[in-house]
Amino acid sequence: MQALTPAAIEFRGIDKSFGVVHAVRGVSLRIEAGTITGIVGENGAGKSTLMSILYGLYRADAGEIWVDGQPVEMASPRDAIAHGIGMVHQHFMLIDTFTVLENMVLGAEGGLMLAGGLAAARAELMRLGRDYGLTIDPDARVADLSVGEQQRVEILKVLFRGARTLILDEPSAVLTPQETDRLFRILQTLKDRGVTVVLITHKLREIVAATDRVYVMRRGQIVAERRTVDTGTEELAELMVGRKVHLDLHKAPPRRGEILLQAEHLSLIDGRGVQLLDDIGIELRAGEIVGIAGVTGNGQSELLQVLAGIRPPSGGRLTVCGHALDARRPGNPAEMRSLGLAHVPEDRLRQGMVAAFAASETSILGYQDGPPFTRHYLLDGPAVDAHCARLMERFDVRPRSPTLRSSSFSGGNQQKLVLAREIAREPKVLLVGQPTRGVDIGAIEFIHRELVKARDAGCAVLVVSVELDEILSLADRILVMFAGRIVGEVAPDRADERRLGLMMAGADAA
């Protein structure tokens, strides 16, 4: 029988534990040369750990890694780079104040590429740009580049170091749909030139659109392997979670009521004089979900902070449940909560909980001074634990252990706990930032249903998300932000990713 062609990458029985957590369990898989291979799985499934082992960030407890048919040791990223493996992380590793060329040679000083000085490095950068469709100005300052262009620099940096295998971790997380389309055209060009690509993403539509083969991980193991043409998003979701997942959100038309939150000419200028919010006007009515779409960094985070009372506005007027606030008389988070406004922050670990607190303490954070949690100025421990247990049951938070530290829960269960705390108060207005960031696909399904339930109970819900699928699925009205302004409003039945993507890039205002 004819021998198999050596795989670009092969894992043989890879095992890895962190204390009592068995993160990767005897994983064996082949990544064929010159292909685009996807690896998907829920949070904690082991996919990022597996790629970190390949890139030398972790050492495997057992098993072997083979590259181009030979066993190799990966003690550090330097070893991985020496074996032709490069990794583009979700959060870019670039120096903003350096030029493209300076970023390119950073860390490669003394290598062969610099034998002829920066001129040789510039020539090589230009060649790579032409060959792979990644042309970019070597003298441009990284801070002046778009997010999509910065990602191109990251890919070029990896190719500059001689990578034949490219690992991309959640590459489209901060891109517009148009930038994502360009990225996948670049990946196809890389494949056509013989580069092997490994794609880690939770966006199953991208896996189906871009890959040749996909592996599904669950609880540290490979549970399925599919040729991409033989599968689809529904099957992959079911394989990831271990049960049927309903990806389509069915909801009744909104029953809009009175205006519960109104922002008029709202502005925010930071201490450096930078305009972060510019003439924002929003109305939220009872019984509707308003979605705000936009690329990260265009004012969405600051808008949520102003609406929640975390930051005072520089100008304009805000009315919450009939109570008027402005720059001279701003609200604060406690006052906003007393008016019936609840807030699920974008960063649950920094703003939504204290990681060292027990889950029971997280379940009342911000509401701890009122009944039934406080008696004679002291927390009533049994009452708090009982309250948390009820929330865990209702919102399917696992494990159902009120005394467990908040940091010990998975990202999805942390998010459900914070969401449970806010929704359980039956707020009149609910602000939700990135409701499913870093959340398992099964938890996404649950969180979306809970937001629709809150809407149907008469709550006015504002959702900020970088996930266009999420905005299109949840929102009854869609607003788009660019450069601190709301540049347009689109009805969901008239919206699509292309149109929203153009507006998010400031190219079109509806």
pLDDT, tens digit (0-9, with 9 covering 90-100), for 396-407: 888 889 999 998
Residue 175 contacts by C-beta under 8 Å, 6 or more apart in sequence? 147, 148, 151, 183, 295
Q: What is the pLDDT of residue 109?
A: 58
Q: DSSP of 480-499, one letter per residue? A: EEETTEEEEEE-GGG--HHH
Most confident of 350-354, 397-401, 476-480: 476-480
Where does the pLDDT of residue 508 fall: very low under 50, low under 70, confident under 90, or very high at 90 and above? low
Does pTM top 0.85 for this prediction? no
Confidence at residue 174, expressed as pLDDT on a 0 to 100 scale: 67
Ranges assigned E (strand) in 35-134: 36-41, 62-67, 70-72, 85-88
Report the pLDDT value the prediction gives residue 501, as an integer from 0 to 100: 86
Least confident of 91-95, 96-100, 153-157, 497-501: 91-95
Q: Where in the chain is the domain with CATH 3.40.50.300?
A: 9-241, 259-352+426-504
Measured distance CA(409)–CA(352) in Å, rounded: 14
At 222-260, the pLDDT tens digits run: 999 999 999 998 899 899 888 887 767 889 999 999 999
The proportion of the chain whose per-residue pLDDT surpasses 70, expressed as a percent, equals: 95
Residues 190-218: b if buried by 16+ CB within 10 A, e if exposed: bbeeebbbbbbbbbbebbbebbebbbbbb
Which has more pLDDT, 112 or 257?
Answer: 257
pLDDT at 2 over 50: no
480 pLDDT above the threshold of 80: yes
**Alpha carbon of 504 to those of 97, 240, 266, 485: distances in Å?**
25, 31, 20, 11
Strands 36-41 and 196-200: parallel
Q: How far is CA 313 from CA 10, 182, 211, 219, 366, in A?
A: 55, 37, 46, 46, 22
Q: Give pLDDT, residue 3.
A: 47
CATH topology of domain 9-241: Rossmann fold (3.40.50)
Which of these CATH numbers, 3.90.105.20, 3.40.50.300, 3.40.710.10, 3.30.360.10, describes 259-352+426-504?
3.40.50.300
pLDDT confidence tier of residue 108, bands split at 50, 70 and 90: low
Three-state secondary structure call for residue 101: helix
pLDDT at residue 17 greater than cutoff 70: yes
Q: What's residue 438's pLDDT?
A: 66
Q: Look at residue 1 and tell me whether its pLDDT is greater than 60.
A: no
Whole-number Å distance between alpha carbons of 135 and 86: 19
CA Rg, the chain, in Å? Answer: 25
Report how far residue 282's alpha carbon sits from residue 302's, in angstroms, rounded to the nearest whole number: 14
At which residue do the structure tokens 């072997």 appear? 64
Query: Per-residue pLDDT tens for 250-268?
Result: 899 999 999 999 999 999 9
**Local confidence band at 296 (pLDDT 50, 70, 90 cut-offs):** confident
Per-residue burial over 10-31, b = 16 or more CB atoms within 10 Å of its CB, e = otherwise: bbeebbbeeeeebbbbebebbb
274 Cβ contact partners less than 8 Å away, ≥ 6 residues apart: none
| pLDDT for 281 beyond 50 | yes
Percent of the chain with pLDDT over 90: 56
Residue 33's pLDDT is: 95
Q: How far apart are CA 122 and CA 139, in angstroms?
A: 9
Residue type, 207: I
Q: Is the pLDDT of residue 66 over 50?
A: yes
CB of 101 within 8 A of CB of 39? no
